[in-house]
Amino acid sequence: MKKNDLISLEITDLTAEGSGVGHAADGLTVFVPRTAVGDRITAKIVKVKKKYAFAIVASVDQPSPHRVAVDCPQFRSCGGCLYRHIDYGEECRLKELQVANSMKRIGGIDLAPNPIVPAVETERYRNKAQFPIASGGKSGFFAGHSHRIIPCEDCLLQPSEFSVAAAVIEQWMVENGISAYEESTGEGLVRHLYLRNAETTGELMVVLVVNGQKIPAQEQLISLLKEKLGESLQSVQQNINTENTNVVLGKETGVLYGKPFITDVLCGVKLHISPLSFYQVNRTMAEKLYQKAAEYACPQGKDILDLYCGIGSIGLSMAREAKSVTGVEIVEAAVRDAEQNAVENGFRNTRFLCATAEQAARNLAAEGIRPQVVLVDPPRKGCDESVLQTIANDFQPERVVYVSCDPATLARDVKALTVLGYSLKEYTPFDLFARTGHVETVACLIREKEWDKG
């Protein structure tokens, strides 16, 4: 087999990255993006390795029963959605299987997950967007595995107001001759358009990420945004990022109009959300996930430690029943939001610390703090080994409730906690990112005592 060969292929599986898996006549595994299990295709080989090959679809000769018509013109070039070409039921099956396979293959766990909780909405559910800006003010998304910008007038995963805001930025840049940032030279002003909205209040935040200290024609920009977005526009901010980096947001943010935050409500808790603060991008599904986390935590009358707490949303959702909640977060702005959120909701049994999870875990353990429940909601890389050691050996909580956005690192960390004396009793996948390749999971581990769901 060599590059540009055409071969017949049946797709029998999908990888976690969304590529179809088939086997050539000689047994070589071939990976083909944008295919569905059950497809029979003619594949064009684009790269051959010793044990596998990569291909693209030359033609779909017999479509899978799960294949559906694609409703997005950017699907073939955008790096966002992986599953827009298959039906939603099949997408959920694949995601549930991905979580189960990771647990078994990486974690050595034979326990099957609960059925995946499907998305309430598969369209317009995202409350955050980060649009890179191209020459002429065009915004869009990066193509898969690149920094090539694919223009997008309207992403179906995002509120229509986001497209309105993007059109305003384009108009403002063109009319004022404002340049877009060029990665290759480090020159140009506007890098990204960063947007957030609050589902329950309808409040909208617009953040312009710039390679400089000042934004020209500010009054016109704000006037246009107010004209097009109306009363929903509650915050316009400037974020300064002059570093040679692919990190979207810089450390310095200033308000140009309105408030420094927007307000949403999650699990009955009013939450302030600032630009730098972590907040789940699908509020409706996050509420379902947090309810499951509370079911696993059994927080009534217990001291809870919430590591990687962000703006405090998951810990505060349990604060009414808990004896106390201690939150830990490395982002200072998020800690300020968490403290303000606790005050505004009338909680007197909470405190929040600005530190890495590793630092806080060591310091709290040294203080002799022994929470009965530890919540962890780490980034994709999972928990540092030292954090898991401190949880298991120093805190020794009755329960660890682990919220994960990566099945592989969840499985790895569950395996480590099992060695440290904890037992996985139940875990449930949630589809917070419909049509994309991501899946959330919440897991409950207990320390050598009878499983009791409260």
Give the residue numbers marked as catalytic. 405
Which of these, 285, 265, 284, 264, lies nearest to 274 by C-alpha position?
Answer: 264
Q: What share of the chain is helix, strand, coil (3-state, %, to 5)?
A: 25, 30, 45
Q: Are 252 and 93 in contact (CB under 8 A)?
A: no
Q: Rounded to whole angstroms, what are the CA distances from 262 to 112, 127, 169, 200, 279? A: 39, 12, 20, 11, 12
In the chain, the N- to C-terminal Cα span, in Å, equals: 59
CA separation for the pair 91, 354 (Å, rounded): 38
Which of these, 183, 112, 178, lies nearest to 148 by C-alpha position?
Answer: 183
Q: What are the φ/ψ torsions at residue 284 (nearest 5 degrees)?
A: -60, -45
Distance of CA 325 to the CA centre of its chain: 24
Q: Are 307 and 376 in contact (CB under 8 A)?
A: yes
Beta bridge partners of 9: 41
